[in-house]
Amino acid sequence: MMLRIYEQQLDAQLINNATELITVLEYAPQEEWENLLMIFSVENNVGVTLLDENDDAVGLSNSAFFASEENQDFDSNISLGFEFEQNNQYYFITITSGAVNRALTQIEGIFTQIFLYVFIVICLVAVLTALLYARFLGQPIIEIAHISKKMANLDMLWHCKTNRTDEIGMLANNLNQMANQLATTLEDLQAANIKLQNDVEKERERERRRRDFFIAVSHELKTPVTILKGELDGMILNIGKFKNRDKYLQEAYKTSESIERLVREIMILVKLDTISLNVEQVNLSYLINEVVKLYEPLAREKQIDVQINSETDVFLQADQAQLQTVVSNMISNAVKHSPYGQSVKINLAIESELGYLTVENKGVHIEEDEIFKLWDPFYRTDKSRSRDTGGSGLGLYIVKTILDLHRFSYKLENCENGIRFTMNFPIDSKK
């Protein structure tokens, strides 16, 4: 097809050139015709014959001119005839082209010989181009498919690398943004889940402590109530030793006081479990001095020397009423459980923006395996769980609960000659 088109273009060009030749010959002298025809024959690679009205060659030694010797014998592909007039005589020109046909035939033969090789090269180029394009276009899609599988497994530790700006690049960037948002959301969910689990565990622990506490409360109340009921029954029936009603009325009154004190402490614990702290600035130095004044009569009765060591006023953020309960419990325990003639030392100091309160009483010692049990409700160091000291076993448990609400650190330990309670807290520098 291409050869035929090429042939048609050559024929059209030949006709245009021949028309121009006729125009020149109409006005050129006859002595120049031979030269003009020879030039036309050579330039267009055709045979040219010029005849007059009688079909005789005009001024020519031969009937035709050719561009080369090999063109003298040819199979004509095209024959064109033209006529023109000069000096009232008509002349005829015949143009034959055979070289063009042979050239086209040669080209067609050469093309037929190399067609297979050209076809193979074209196929190879097409295959390589398809592979390269498929790799350029398909590899990012394959990578995105692998990444989507990771996303399905909630694996967000990846990044889709691409510098493309087309739709595939936009898809990769959108996946990266989605992965970042999902990773952030998963982290938030994991943190919320951990917090929820911790809250559940805390609630379970609180429920367990509440259940254990009420079991202990029922046990602790059962004994004094039973004693009180027995004393009252004996006095009502006026039997045995209970005939001395004045004496046992006093005993019953003391028993009712211990019950009242126990109920009051239970109510404190119940309130601590539900109320929110009223945090304000508290002068701990002043608070300690006020509490010590309350226990000075008992200290004088037991000849106990209470010493307060504080370099300056110490302020902190706390619930003043609850903090006073803590200080009161620790000082009262130190005074009540110290032997006669001993001393109680109260130290208040500041170190690196932390405050330290220590209450130390001399002449007592607690077994190491019992120290941590003292924080449990209703626990007493004496095996008989005697109430001679007037304690209910809830004092340290109340202290522990209040300090946990304030998030203050604390500990109880044996020291060189006694027992030391220590409380650490952040100081408030704003006065």
> Residue 46 to residues 21, 92, 301, 425: CA-CA distances in angstroms?
13, 16, 151, 118
> Residue 349 above 60 pLDDT?
yes
How far is the C-alpha of 304 from the C-alpha of 341, rounded, in Å? Answer: 5
Domain borders along the chain are 2-102, 154-275, 278-431
How far is the C-alpha of 304 from the C-alpha of 298, rounded, in Å? Answer: 8
User: pLDDT tens for residues 298-315?
Assistant: 888 889 889 989 867 889
Mean pLDDT score, 80-87: 79
Among 132-146, 240-254, 414-428, which is the least confidently predicted range?
132-146
Among 36-40, 46-50, 206-210, 276-280, which is the least confidently predicted range?
206-210
Instruction: Return the SS3 of 136.
Output: helix
Structure tokens at 282: 């508290």
Sheet holding 343-351, edge to edge: 305-310, 343-351, 354-362, 418-426, 409-414
> Residue 2 above 60 pLDDT?
no
How far is the C-alpha of 227 from the C-alpha of 221, rounded, in Å? Answer: 10
User: pLDDT tens for residues 132-161?
Assistant: 777 766 666 666 666 666 666 666 665 666
Alpha carbons within 13 angstroms on the beta-carbon side of residue 40 total 30
Whole-model pTM? 0.49
Q: Which residues contact 291 (CB under 8 A, 6 or more apart)?
A: 324, 327, 328, 331
How far is the C-alpha of 338 from the C-alpha of 298, rounded, in Å? Answer: 11
- Specify the pLDDT at position 137: 64
Q: Which fold has domain 278-431?
A: Heat Shock Protein 90 (3.30.565)
Q: Which of 204, 14, 209 is nearest to 98 (CA)?
A: 14
Among 144-153, 178-187, 254-263, which is the least confidently predicted range?
144-153
> Residue 68 above 80 pLDDT?
no
